[in-house]
Structure 1
Amino acid sequence: MRGEILHYDSEHGFGFITGADGKRYVFGREDLRRDMALSKGVEVEFQPNGDRAGNIFSVRTRAADPANNVAATAARPLPGAASAHFGRDAENETESTAVWSYFWRDLTSNYLNFTGRARRKEFWSFCLFWPIGLAVLAAIGLSYDLPTDDFEGGSGLPILTLSLLGLYAVFTILPWISLLVRRLHDVGLTGWLAILCFLPYVGELAILVFGLIPSQSGQNKYGPVPAGVRI
């Protein structure tokens, strides 16, 4: 979303942004995509999350305001910072669109991210690597359980295998739900429809349909077009 810096306290590292929707969002130094000079009137792009702004990067500084003596110059990065790229170039600079990178981010930085949008490639990357991870853990568990006397004799259970698979399922259920929500956001639908994917009989069909619908062109109410999507 496009917005404008209202105030920034460099000493304490927090400030406020007025969004294009007319709402005011709070942000901290940790919400900046990269180090940059901030002052009143600087225009930025950011990702709203409730009443907080995240993933912030500057676009340009508004024309000079005589009342505030704001110079009409582009926002400059702090000394030592890398050269800035904005818009889609900035997105591509900071986030890889490789299938493994999508899967890894879903399990790390996007673990509980229920805001923003997820393109089809990200969705199917998770669907590709999730069963691969399951198979690897099953192989590891069975390599330990099979040689045991109890398991070979039929009197025991593959304890390690079942434990690994159970932990894997528990660990990945939340990023899977958050990915479903962001995929629905990407096509302009409410994330609550993700419930359909867990219903009997219709769950598999819902996953297939939601995974095949193309991204909405242009920014929608859930955020900008994901990096890598051709419009």
Structure 2
Amino acid sequence: MQWYLKVLKNYVTFSGRARRKEFWMFNLINFLIVLALSVIELVLEIPAFLSGIYSLAIILPSLAVTVRRLHDIGKSGWWILISLVPFVGAIILLVFECLDSVPDNQYGPNPKSGAASDIAI
């Protein structure tokens, strides 16, 4: 949950870098929240209002953490647009998101170098 909150605190920070752990933990918790909201909507037999509002609220933090993740592997944040290419673009972006951090680059120092002060889960 701490990784999720860290991303929300950096709500629209598109500069800097995000480790794989930060990116994937945010996406896991995000998925679980959407799943819980969808179950609540199904049980209460209401339209997808709650999950829709949540999805709109979380769109900017999701974009920001993805751009920071791309920065961590040395790619420009504009590579996020490759996901607009049908099928192949999403696969390429997924591969990029799975790559390991590169040493210090133009986007900042390697976030892994401060692993001792990392958030404990």
User: Identity over the aligned pairs, expressed in percent?
Assistant: 39
Which one of 103, 108, 111 corresponds to residue 4 of structure 2?
103
| Greater gyration radius | 1
Q: Which runs of at least 4 in structure 1 moved beyond 3 Å after TM superposition?
A: none
Q: Which amino acid aligns with 1:228?
A: A
User: Aligned residues, how many?
Assistant: 114
Q: Which amino acid aligns with 1:221?
A: Q
Q: CA RMSD in A?
A: 1.7
Cross-structure match for 2:13: 113
Which one of 42, 51, 68 corresponds to residue 165 of structure 1?
51
Cross-structure match for 1:135: 35
Which aligned pairs between 1:143-154 and structure 2 lie closer than 5 A? 143-145=43-45
What is the CA-CA distance between 1:171 and the residue it aligns to?
A: 1.1
Which aligned pairs between 1:32-51 and structure 2 lie closer than 5 A? none
TM-score by length of 1: 0.46
Could you say if the C-alpha distance between residues 199 and 177 of structure 1 is closer, same or farther in structure 2, counting changes exceeding 3 Å? Answer: farther
Could you say if the C-alpha distance between residues 164 and 199 of structure 1 is closer, same or farther in structure 2, counting changes exceeding 3 Å? Answer: farther
Cross-structure match for 2:119: none
Deviations 1:188-215 (A, max 9, x none): 1111001113432124313321121110
Point out the structure with the larger helix share. Answer: 2
Distance in 2 (CA, whole Å) between partners of 1:203 and 1:101 is 30
TM-score by length of 2: 0.84
Deviations 1:97-146 (A, max 9, x none): xxx2112221x21110100001111111122112101111112222322x
Distance in 2 (CA, whole Å) between partners of 1:221 and 1:206 is 22
| 2:4–2:26 Cα contact (<8 Å) kept | yes
What is the CA-CA distance between 1:220 and the residue it aligns to?
A: 1.2
The SS at the match of 1:228 is: helix
Deviations 1:32-65 (A, max 9, x none): xxxxxxxxxxxxxxxxxxxxxxxxxxxxxxxxxx
User: Which consecutive residues of structure 1, in runs of 5 or more, have no partner in the other structure?
Assistant: 1-99, 146-157
